[in-house]
Chain A
């Protein structure tokens, strides 16, 4: 199990060295981007348009490659299609040799990081200089970019000053002042640009019909890199192709809003090379004729055609590398891209790229840091279901790994559909329902064992459960046992509903289920609590897709007759509601998924609906004092947009409500229990505590099981579900 310890140690070190800069930068950009999107009425419409353009481009990719080849050649440039990174590097090296070049300047490009063109050219004896200031910094430091668009965002101004002072023989030491650092780096880099023989850029988009490149930048270095040397080499993944110039419009309006929180970047270059700008020869101090310009477009496959054929990875190719998913990710905010990153790519969408262009081992290094909280989804300008991509990659990693010595311990306890090699920690958390059933036979004994030192030792050594966490305690009586004995108390109901008995509510916290029953009954609703299997959230979160699908089918089977009977399904646990409303799309036939999605409600959303339709507000509990509440909504509730119902109901009942803006509590299901991630989870939690501020006088509420657990620990007090506050006693 030392690898869990190594992971924990590596992440702890990153949080100590880079955590502060990463946290500040990502959270700031995330807020700016939230604001930019809020102010932009066309956001959803343009996301839809952008998505369609990408879908169509990837579908027609072979045609677009032919088309762009023809267009670039007609313009006087050359196109090279490289199957692999090695091919691309050989092509670039040949261009350098043909042009008798010594020095190449580069503007920022993740695709050239992917092929490590710098390393290749340097080994061949060429000088390569990065011109984006962030890239320049990490080139000097010999580091990998820690973010898709902010490659050096893990470094503070003081770090950068130390680096420059160590690297250069300066008469006077540079202070950690951003303006002075920028001036210094600009001068150095500017000289390299003026001297360079070849300029290399990436491309945010490539227009097939005209051979036009779109480059999105703020510094202006890409403009200079493209036009100052007489030779321009653009390296772009084949997925950057779009059909027409008009296709660029939605992306022009979206990319900065999601990426940096600007409405538009300083420069959006639309260039159709070779351009007719005269060539400034600074050495000879003369302008040379633009006719002498040469342009090469290197289109990189490197696994992309395979991704295109892959139904689950395909949408990764729609990614425009804006980095919004990283900024919106609580775990990324804590550890940055050197933790949440593979060989090249970082953040939420990174595992899809790593799996596609490198391999599963590289994807595996980072994949578990995605908890599926889904807060990246609304930020993705091309609507990629990033958590799903991560789940599929996790599933493939599970199938890729070898078994381990403790396998026998879980035989029989884990009736899943997964391969023998599956990590035992994942198997434990993925089979929570089976374990709950066994444990609840003798709840006192199970609690005692799980809380004992030998129990904790086994949990830590075998399953990687962090001993600093307590596993939830089994209740003496499950929700269903209680309700079976009690029965309904509504004789003449306005309507009937099914209350979904999620595993946590049923076995561990039946009080929130009892409260939901009392609240619904107070509003004249008759409640049914049938036996319904676990939603599949637990196995899905561990990448156990086949098991999750089996669960989904069983849940559908158990609920569909109730729905046919006109009963809505009321759900307490937001992560289960998100399964029914969103994830079942991937697991069930379309009509089955739709039917469930349309008839499932968050419990507070349902209460809101009842009140809105005239139910008696007075039947619910109202504030006994003016203390007010502090409410942390669940990440997936926010993505579904149902958190607002809780806030509205509480406000209408007279509670003053304070909410948090943080994306996730850090617990995220099983994540915070895992020994390798416990400290990351607590770091995220501390951010939530700072964000909520002083809550000494307020009641703390949270909708999600994990959020409740996390807040329990952070504040050392019980944190109920909102329905427990409003349900009559």
Chain B
């Protein structure tokens, strides 16, 4: 892929973006994951979540977690969006309940725009990965008068981009 969508993606994500080689990703994750943390497995060679991360969270560890780490299936450059597929490991809960969400996405999965994203989503859905949330930045509300970030979902989001994956 060209580097152009990647730099667009980097500038449009409403949160911190960490670009790294897969080999160095563990260090990056160790830095952005604050304990207690929950997570689901990252499906890339050489990338593992830090040991402190509970990958089989119970409701109570989920509730008390500060960080949730999950893989993302897509990055959408124009919007700074990542898509988080639901899975039996509880990605939806992990990415939702903890106040800090760390999404790990492969650079090759960053597409330029929404039509390209829907093309990929179409393939995913046909293959059975048929529940995904397009997540863009922290949760927010303006219902209490002005914009407040951090409501029922995370208040802080990080995206780790694996440049060589």
Chain A interface residues (CB < 8 Å from chain B): 25, 131-134, 137, 150-153, 156-157, 160, 176, 178-179, 181-182, 185-186, 189-190, 193-194, 210, 212, 218-221, 223-224, 227, 245-246, 248-249, 252-253, 260, 263-273, 275-278, 280-282, 285-287, 290
Contact = CB atoms under 8 A, between A and B. Distances in A.
B96 A220 contact: yes
B79 A264 contact: yes
Contact of A160 (B59, B114, B132, B145): B145
A268 B151 contact: no
Contact of B145 (A156, A193, A273, A278): A156
B134 A287 contact: no
Contacts of B140: 218-219, 266
B114 A249 contact: yes
Interface string B104-123: 00000000001101100110
A57 to B, nearest CB: 17
B31 to A, nearest CB: 24
Contact of A157 (B92, B93, B122, B144): B144
Interface stretch (B1-9, B19-27, B44-52, B83-91): B83-91
B59 A281 contact: yes
Given A157-B144, A160-B144, 17 more contacts: A25-B142, A131-B152, A134-B141, A152-B143, A157-B146, A186-B151, A218-B139, A248-B118, A249-B117, A253-B114, A265-B136, A266-B138, A268-B134, A270-B134, A280-B93, A281-B59, A282-B59
A231 B28 CA distance: 38
B63 interface: yes
B115 A249 contact: yes
Interface string B88-103: 1011110011000000
Given A185-B144, A246-B122, A220 B153 contact: yes
A286 B132 CA distance: 24
Contact of B60 (A133, A178, A285): A285
* 5 A-B pairs with the lowest CB-CB distances in the bound complex, closest first: A220-B153, A134-B143, A157-B145, A220-B152, A220-B139
13 contacts: A151-B143, A176-B145, A182-B148, A220-B151, A223-B92, A227-B86, A227-B93, A249-B115, A264-B134, A266-B137, A267-B135, A271-B86, A278-B93
A248 B135 CA distance: 16
Interface of A is mostly: mixed
Contacts of B122: 245-246
Contact of B63 (A221, A269, A276, A282): A282
Contacts of B141: 133-134, 182, 218-219
A409 B90 CA distance: 74
Contacts of A264: 79, 81, 134, 136
Interface in B48-96: 57-60, 62-63, 78-79, 81, 86-88, 90-93, 96
B143 A150 contact: yes
A169 to B, nearest CB: 21
Contacts of A265: 136
Contacts of A282: 59-60, 63
A151 B144 CA distance: 11
Contact of B93 (A151, A260, A273, A277): A277
Contacts of A280: 59, 62, 90, 93
A290 B91 CA distance: 13
Contacts of B133: 223, 267-271
Contacts of B59: 194, 280-282, 285-287
Most buried by B among A179, A220, A227, A286: A220
A179 B136 contact: no
A583 to B, nearest CB: 35
A194 B152 CA distance: 12
Contact of B125 (A223, A266, A272): A272
B153 A266 contact: yes
A219 B153 contact: yes
A156 B59 CA distance: 36
A194 B97 CA distance: 11
Contacts of B151: 133, 182, 186, 218-221
Contacts of B144: 133, 157, 160, 178-179, 181-182, 185
B52 to A, nearest CB: 20
B130 interface: yes
Nearest to A282: B59
A192 to B, nearest CB: 11
Given A210-B130, A264-B134, A133 B143 contact: yes
B96 A223 contact: yes
A232 to B, nearest CB: 12
A275 B84 CA distance: 13
B87 A276 contact: yes
A277 B90 contact: yes
A286 B58 contact: yes
Nearest to A248: B118
Contacts of A246: 118, 122
A264 B136 CA distance: 7
Contacts of A137: 143
Given A210-B130, A249-B118, A268-B134, A178 B92 contact: no
Given A185-B144, A249-B118, A267 B58 contact: no
Specify which of B62, B146, B151 lies most central, judged by the most chain A CB atoms within 10 Å of its CB.
B151
A285 B64 CA distance: 12
A219 B86 CA distance: 18
A193 to B, nearest CB: 8
Given A220-B151, A220-B152, A227-B93, A278 B143 contact: no
Contacts of B121: 245, 270
Contact of B148 (A178, A263, A271, A287): A178
Contacts of A134: 141, 143
Contact of A190 (B117, B143, B152): B152
A266 B142 CA distance: 12
A278 B63 CA distance: 15
A131 B92 CA distance: 18
Nearest to A160: B144
Chain A CB within 10 Å — which of B79, B130, B152 has the most?
B152
- Identify the interface centre among B93, B141, B146: most chain A CB within 10 Å of its CB: B141
A224 B96 contact: yes
